[in-house]
Every structure is written in structure tokens, then in C-alpha cells.
Amino acid sequence: MKILFDSSSIIASIIEAHPKHEFALSRLKKVKNKNIDASISAHSLLEIYSVLTSGPFKPKISPELAKELINTNIRKYFKIVSLSPKEYFTLIDFLSSSDFKGGIVYDALIFKCAQKYKVDKLITLNAKDFVRFNFNKSIEIVSI
């Protein structure tokens, strides 16, 4: 089974105090045990780094520790999916013609990466926006 994880699900798996930590961590363990063909959008890597280094975590997470957490939990286990320049412009065409604006465009980017990698499921903490892009129900959106 091919699954794309959005940044929120990865952050929940890393931060022990997160309310969804146990469930997210169980998914991450399945990835590390190679029970899941896992992917993540390239954009999400920087989003994870940004949240880890700027979130209200106690103790604070340094840039060096954030890098280590990303390398330890993602680098060896996840397929990194990115769009080509042409695919970005096609996505912008779609977003503008559909009147999507603001932060939802980043979820559109993640969803497009999920489509590109032909995943079965997309795991997130915020399914609402992803459902808006899943017109033909080709990907199961799993909210943790």
C-alpha cells in the first residue's frame, strides 16, 4: 500500500506531547519496518523543519535537532515527491480557475504529489482541505 504523509502527521509522530502522537507514531513505525510504501511531498520537508524549529515545544527544538529528526525519521524511509516546473504551472492554472487562494494552495500541492505518486491513502490531521481536491475519490483521505 502506498501512502503519502502530510507534514502534520509527521510532526505528530515526532512530538511526544502531541495529542495524536501515539497513532501517528504507530504509522511511522510501520514505515520504518517497511510495512508501508511511504512518501512525502518535498514541500512538506521544509514545512516540518519550520514547525519543529518555531513551534511552542518545551524544550525548544534547535535547527540542528530538527535536521536530525528529519534525517532519522524521513530521509531513509520516505520517497520524496516533487512536481516538475510544468506541473507547478498546471496546478496554478487549476487553482486560479477554481478560485482557490491562500494557504489551501499548499494542501493542493501536497495532494498533487499524492496523485503523482499514485498513492492509495493520504494521512493528515486536517482532511477538510484535501477532500476538496479529491473529486473522483481516487485517494482515501485518512484523518488521524
pLDDT (tens digit, 9 = 90+) per residue, 74-92?
A: 999 999 999 999 999 999 9
Q: 103 falls in which pLDDT band (50, 70, 90)?
A: very high
Q: Is the pLDDT confidence value at 49 over 90?
A: yes
How many domains would you assign to the chain? 1
Q: Which three cell numbers, joined as nine digits, stand for 18?
A: 502531541
**Once rounded to an integer, what is the mean pLDDT over residues 95-110?**
95
Total length of the chain? 144
**Once rounded to an integer, what is the mean pLDDT over residues 51-57?**
95
Q: State how beta strands 121-124 and 140-143 pair.
A: parallel
Residue 135: its pLDDT value, please?
83
| DSSP strands (E only) in the chain | 2-5, 37-41, 78-81, 121-124, 140-143
Query: What CATH number is given to the structural domain containing 82?
Result: 3.40.50.1010
Mean residue pLDDT across the chain: 95
Global pTM value:
0.92
CB 47 within 8 Å of CB 106: yes
Q: State how beta strands 121-124 and 78-81 pair.
A: unpaired
Q: Which residues of 42-81 are buried (b: 16+ CB within 10 A; e: fewer)?
A: ebbbebbbebbbeeebeeebeeeebeebbeebbeebbeeb
Domain hosting residue 39, numbered range: 2-143
